[in-house]
Amino acid sequence: MSQTRARRGRPKGSGIDDRQRLDAVARLIASNPALKPTTAIRSLGVSDPSVIRRLRDKFNVVRGELMEELGSSTAGAIRRAAGAERQTRPDVPPPSVRSIDGEPSRQQRARSIAANSATAAQNSKSVRSEPVAPAGMPQQRAAQAQPAAPRQPSKHHGDGGDADSERLRAGQPPDTRSQDLCMSLMSAGFAMANTMLSAQSAFTREFVRSPYLSLMLRQQLAFSQWTMGLVTASRIASKTVR
């Protein structure tokens, strides 16, 4: 009866070859040590919980072995890349010749000494090429031997000279700030006058169109007609009396 009853759990060895998946999980964890095995397995596209548990258990069993194999393969790839670089670039020294702990090697020190000596030889040649006055030569001849500095033309101030040309240096543009200020003031004055004239003409048009003004004009015309009629009637009455 114990044989027919189903057992809980799963067998330790399932007989499935998961070597490729375990290698992929090891590479992911080596690139990101903070990554958990379950997360790495899910990132491979595995979504079945039973498969995830199986791969996690197998990886935990052989984790140290996989990491050692991955480290040895990475070191071998680095050595092969360094050998290929030395073959393609012969000027790069081998690791035995390179500096250890930041100290320069013998070949590097020899190259630096040769470069310093070549620089010193060039400096000595440049110093020798410069003309040096002998000790017995007088100071006047030594001064004549040296190249004369270019002289600036002296300014002659005369009564009939041009004052503007004396004030302005050669190649210096004249100061136009005062002219710009005058032009700005003139343009501002013209703009203000134009604005005032426009406002006055608009006020005049509105005043003429006002109903109060038209009423006043009609009253004035009526009063003028009444006055003219009164004057005419008084003249007729005076003629009749005579």
Domain boundaries, the chain: 19-88, 182-241
Average pLDDT of 8-18? 60
pLDDT number for residue 67: 84
Q: Over 80: is that where the pLDDT of 182 sits? A: yes
pLDDT number for residue 140: 54
User: Shortest CA distance to 188 belongs to which of 196, 178, 177?
Assistant: 196
Q: Which of 62-71, 94-103, 118-127, 130-139 is predicted with the least confidence, judged by mean pLDDT?
A: 94-103
User: Shortest CA distance to 22 belongs to which of 54, 8, 35?
Assistant: 54
User: Shortest CA distance to 97 belongs to which of 76, 115, 111, 116?
Assistant: 111
Average pLDDT of 22-34? 86
Average pLDDT of 20-28? 87
1 pLDDT band, cuts 50/70/90, is: very low
Whole-model pTM? 0.29
Tokens of residue 228, six digits? 């003219």
d(C-alpha 83, C-alpha 94), whole Å? 9
Q: Over 60: is that where the pLDDT of 135 sits? A: no
CA neighbours closer than 13 Å in the CB half-sphere of residue 44: 23
| Sequence-distant (≥ 6) Cβ neighbours of residue 38 within 8 angstroms | 52, 56
Q: Over 90: is that where the pLDDT of 240 sits? A: no
pLDDT number for residue 7: 44
Q: Over 80: is that where the pLDDT of 163 sits? A: no
The residue whose two tokens read 């343009």 is 187
